[in-house]
Chains A and B, each alone.
Chain A
């Protein structure tokens, strides 16, 4: 290219940018005439602009530093360090990288933590750090992680500890809400660990949910003893605080667990850990932090000056004793705080005994802890006391020995960050869109089996499917979904041959971590699916426990035919139009015909039937009994299938109106899969319509956290807020949701609904008209529209809407609830009750709204209404 030509390109490019994107093609065609290369050049620049994002925005020194930083974490994988074979990177955190390694001498898994070189600046810090870690190592307490060795690798300190195969408390808290007994039990175990450490003169200083691991058997392990202090000494803490101040909200703050004296920079003692444990306990019970603020300094101000809200304001049925414990642990003045962890532990233990009757306990505690009867608790306490005495003796020995040998020691390490992954929808490159079901289905199966793995957070289907069929840039997607890695793939089916190409990319830098090509026969689809799951998980975790392998390899069916039919069923159902769902039903039936023991296909069938009723407005009595039978069948075949329990819970709630039984199903589902977005979403509605607003909000927000881009969650959060009488907050959430997808009728529908509650009927009318335009089947916007018009006094228009609904109801099922709504607004009470009664007779699912929906407030004094409520189970 010549400078003159480039000049020409540049000018045209600048002009084209001024033109609206949809008119650019025409503009360029005209401007370039026959000069096709010129047009192509400008077009390719425009295209590049769309993709360039923040390219070059950061500056060279920052990019260079980033490249430098990125090189480090990969350095150890695959290497042999003494008798440790490094398998994989478990995480990178503030205090360095953590690797999973195999101890080849003792043949066991270990975690290796590398302390960053810049923290090893001077020999004095290193010496003191070792001393500290060694002292903590001598504790030998069941709730303190075991340290095997402290070593050195190329000038960096290495800490080798036991590998705890569990989840961090942070992750556990993200799952189903902990029961009170469960929360107290975890706090008790942490208090025990602290007590042992404090007795030995060791303060943790950095107690937070990331530093607490929970094993599948319920045993709690506290990590990182002795490290925080070291970090303070080397000034690391200072830089971390600086970060908190410069980027509010960007940091999962250690700040949140900091005691007032710590926040003030005063010297600390054991009571700082008691404060932090108090914060954790508060968070476990309420799912909220006691001290919040949008900036770091706001949060510090709250820690220093504000009294936290009572637990009882944020959760029902909190015993007074628990309030007292938390208040005492969170006393600003440390002289008013628990003086020793042992006293706190005593109080927790007493409370724990009193709480065993709580019914929710069965669902909320990890398996072994569930069976932790009071007799075994007593036994544990006895052992613990004996252990304490032994520790005292051992301490003297180990302390002495510590100065001689560096290796026989224990302390802590942290699986500093939990791995997270998004599986992007595989591309179907067979050249035949009928095979989309295969690429979509494989993606979905992989998501669901990888979600079973501990330590791994996998983005829900609804979050990733918006990227389907698009060119995606891994880093951008990783940032949008806040995950560390992206798995993408292509599927090609030619005749009976199937080829799958996979690529795992590091979301932080776009580097490929792994790539593989699979060539198989279509008949081997099931085996291939398992193989892929295993390979991917092995890439992410060096070693899977036996249980993990089982979870992954779990075949829901042995029949390829049934599996294919199932995938097709899912593919059609997810399109969620009436015809597509009906197609889906026939595929699921095919699947259950080929394999009558295929639990997942029954669960799919249940889901399809319920969609026919809720989105397709088909008669509930025609389909919900079928849905229930299918869900029951699924549970019967496989009681551990989370999807099946969620589906059953949903039907029991909407159709049987049996609130308690439905709640049990949801809790069971969430126990089996704490990350099930659907279960959180469904459970939220049950809670909301039974008036448990705070809990409902927790659940729906959890669903939204799991799938932030799924507009359904935003709309239902709006509904939950409306039900709680928080109309303005609802409007904010609904507006945000509409930004994600302006054509989503359901969000508009609830926006209209919120306006009605605020008495802003004209605004409601506008929204509801728009909602009706974009909803193809539902009569719900129409009935609310009629309602709003009637309230505005535009009676004739309201009656027109009503007539439309009545006419439609002669052709197909229209929810009597909807029709009753309009009658009620028109003040025709006899008709209102007649239609509500019809709703009751026809088992209209939305009758469950009756108690909470404020549009019926005028009927509350009517005995017919009370009678109806009673019959529905309120």
Chain B
């Protein structure tokens, strides 16, 4: 399969944001393909490089997937919001599918003292995160949205501010509180 072109992805996102459901179905495999490409690059780079690589990679992957510049400026904010939402949708679906697969498969845990491993994982468990984000939306919808835009949408602080029509400072403040709250929620399990 040929690599997804930014124009293609952007076009599909726009179509979807205008209500075309088939566009979303076409989008999913493109995102998966990109995801696998990044995963492979992780493997081939040896796992230790993670933290160093991530920022660059995230950036790279969004540059590849989305061509926000080609979206007309009146539509830009709306488009970015849609892109973030769709990304959340796709990634969480994938996490759910893999989760079910695992549970259906042979039990993987060996006998162990759970208390010893109660430290939460740094990289987010997307499924749990999605649920927690839902709960956060009932407490403060904007904070939940900031996370969606930044974490799932890969938007910068300024872009988030643009989408939500608030100051970057508010975005920063929402983000830091929401992040800590989410971290605690995920650590509880």
Contact = CB atoms under 8 A, between A and B. Distances in A.
B160 to A, nearest CB: 13
Interface in B44-69: 44-58, 61-62
Interface stretch (B11-19, B73-81, B110-118): B110-118
Nearest to A48: B184
Contacts of A71: 98
A93 B48 CA distance: 10
B27 to A, nearest CB: 13
Given A10-B177, A247-B52, A417-B46, A118 B139 contact: no
Given A67-B95, A512-B117, A515-B113, A118 B179 contact: no
Contacts, number: 195
B112 A503 contact: yes
Given A60-B126, A65-B35, A515-B116, A92 B110 contact: no
B2 to A, nearest CB: 13
Interface in B71-100: 87-88, 91, 94-95, 98
B50 to A, nearest CB: 6
B139 A68 contact: no
A52 B88 CA distance: 21
Contacts of B110: 514-515
Contacts of A725: none
B99 to A, nearest CB: 10
Nearest to A483: B48
Contacts of B138: 3
Q: Residue among A6, A239, A501, A517 with the most chain B CB within 10 A?
A: A6
Contacts of B58: 58-59, 61-62
Given A56-B182, A67-B123, A250-B49, A72 B140 contact: no
Contacts of A2: 139
A1 interface: yes
Interface residues of B, number: 63
B139 A509 contact: no
A71 B116 CA distance: 22
B36 interface: yes
A62 B54 contact: yes
A45 interface: yes
B171 interface: no
B24 interface: no
Given A60-B152, A515-B112, A92 B43 contact: yes
Range class of the A interface residue count: 35 or more
Nearest to B61: A61
B54 A6 contact: no
Interface in A55-97: 55-73, 92-96
A58 B62 CA distance: 13
A69 B43 contact: yes
Given A44-B184, A512-B112, A236 B44 contact: yes
A61 B91 contact: yes
A453 to B, nearest CB: 21
B147 interface: yes
B47 A92 contact: yes
Nearest to B148: A60
Nearest to B187: A48
Contact of B124 (A10, A63, A484, A503): A63
Nearest to A506: B47
Contacts of B41: 239
Contacts of A68: 35-36, 39
B96 to A, nearest CB: 12
A61 B65 CA distance: 11
B123 A509 contact: yes
B184 A473 contact: no
A479 interface: yes
Given A69-B39, A116-B43, A243 B49 contact: yes
B22 interface: no
Nearest to B84: A60
Contacts of A73: 43
A474 interface: yes
A94 B44 contact: yes
Interface string A237-265: 00110010011001100000000000000
Interface of A: 1-3, 6-7, 10, 13-14, 44-45, 48-49, 51-73, 92-96, 116, 118, 236, 239-240, 243, 246-247, 250-251, 416-417, 471-476, 479, 482, 484, 488, 490, 501-503, 505, 508-510, 512, 514-517
15 contacts: A2-B139, A7-B140, A52-B183, A61-B87, A62-B54, A62-B61, A64-B95, A65-B35, A67-B98, A96-B43, A118-B44, A239-B44, A243-B53, A482-B48, A512-B116
